[in-house]
Structure 1
Amino acid sequence: MPLQSKVNLSVAPGVAGDKATPDQSIYTPLNPLAAVALPVGRFVFPVVESGVIDNTRATNVAGDAIAVLGFVERVINYVNYELFSDGTLTVPAGSNLTVAVKGDYWAVSTTKATVGQAVLASTADGSISTGTPDATHLDTGWVVKTPGEIGEPIIISNWGPVTAAAGA
């Protein structure tokens, strides 16, 4: 292993799937099982079989799902027995997922992100992009909170602005 050759003067941005604000997330009522190996920091969809939506299992391919199930949070609870491997940001198939439906999270977009843009989920693999929804990119209801170039960590959120209650 080489010696450290660089010291940064600022804190590194978050890793995809990490919380951007602690303890301010809302999750699915049950932790769905990963139907396939799933990367963290992306959106997942419920499994649909024979027209029946199964929210107890999640996949990264939308198929017949009409909406996202949520965002896969990075939770470090999977043992990596390969001591010399680089590790992954993938949850093994059959494992419980922590799926956020509301919160502030670090993510990586496949497109340039500007503040206020809609966050989209690819129906092919759950990856994140920004902009306008189309046939292969579903609107997640989340928005970009910090700007970033392609592949750079950004913060996404679906906490809406605070407004006064009606009649207040």
Structure 2
Amino acid sequence: MMAFQNNVALYQAPGREGDFASCNDAFAVVPPLGGCFRAGSTGTVMARFAWRDDSKPSLVNNSGTGEILGFVRNERTALVNWDEKNSMTIPQGQQVSVYKTGDFWAKSATATTIGQKVYAKLADGTIETANAGTTKDGFIETPFKVMTAAAVGEIFIMSSWS
């Protein structure tokens, strides 16, 4: 049974959260030998940052410590259960693509200003932005930079190339 449509957008979105935002090169992180990255025990949410699982390097989680592994691209691989309207979660054990470089559409819990750096929340991989070198408790600075201004919750372009 499909959910009933409950809203209509007046304007088309400029992009889809977690998808490529340009035709510039994007490089995926090389997975462990003979395999691929897979979602960890609680699944992995697309359009967020991710870290390797401490117990098994082929597993990817949206929480961690230290340097990020990369950004989880939205490849429409989430499964939507019968009682959900939508989902961005890749179920446990399913293949995950993680990118170290590229230009992506993303959402931030803070307003974005062109030139700011993108920060990943260690607890869940969500995004906030701030000036380069800012110390944000519970966050780590990523190699990505804000390319378009946006209000809180709107999509913006982030890039590792600028």
Q: The TM-score by the shorter chain falls in which range?
A: 0.7 to 0.9
Cα deviation 1:74-97 (Å, max 9, x = unaligned): 012455463x74121111111111
Q: Which runs of 5+ in 1 are unaligned?
A: 161-168
Contact conserved, 2:78 with 2:87, CA < 8 A, in 1? Answer: no
Q: TM-score by structure 2 length?
A: 0.82
Cα deviation 1:75-131 (Å, max 9, x = unaligned): 12455463x741211111111111111000000001111001010000111100001
The 1:133/1:96 distance shift into structure 2, 3 A limit, reads farther
CA–CA separation in structure 2 for the residues paired with 1:81 and 1:94 = 17
CA–CA separation in structure 2 for the residues paired with 1:48 and 1:3 = 41
Contact conserved, 2:79 with 2:89, CA < 8 A, in 1? Answer: no
Match of 2:43 in 1: 37
Contact conserved, 1:46 with 1:58, CA < 8 A, in 2? Answer: yes
Larger Rg: 1
How big is the shift at 1:24? Answer: 2.4
Contact conserved, 1:73 with 1:98, CA < 8 A, in 2? Answer: yes
Contact conserved, 1:107 with 1:153, CA < 8 A, in 2? Answer: yes
CA–CA separation in structure 2 for the residues paired with 1:3 and 1:66 = 41
Contact conserved, 2:147 with 2:156, CA < 8 A, in 1? Answer: yes
- Match of 1:48, SS state, is coil
The 1:2/1:15 distance shift into structure 2, 3 A limit, reads closer
How big is the shift at 1:2? Answer: 6.3
How big is the shift at 1:140? Answer: 0.7
Contact conserved, 1:144 with 1:154, CA < 8 A, in 2? Answer: yes
Matched positions, count: 151
Contact conserved, 1:143 with 1:156, CA < 8 A, in 2? Answer: yes
Q: TM-score by structure 1 length?
A: 0.80
- The CA RMSD over aligned residues, in Å, is 2.2
1:103 equivalent in alignment to 2:102: yes
Contact conserved, 1:120 with 1:133, CA < 8 A, in 2? Answer: no
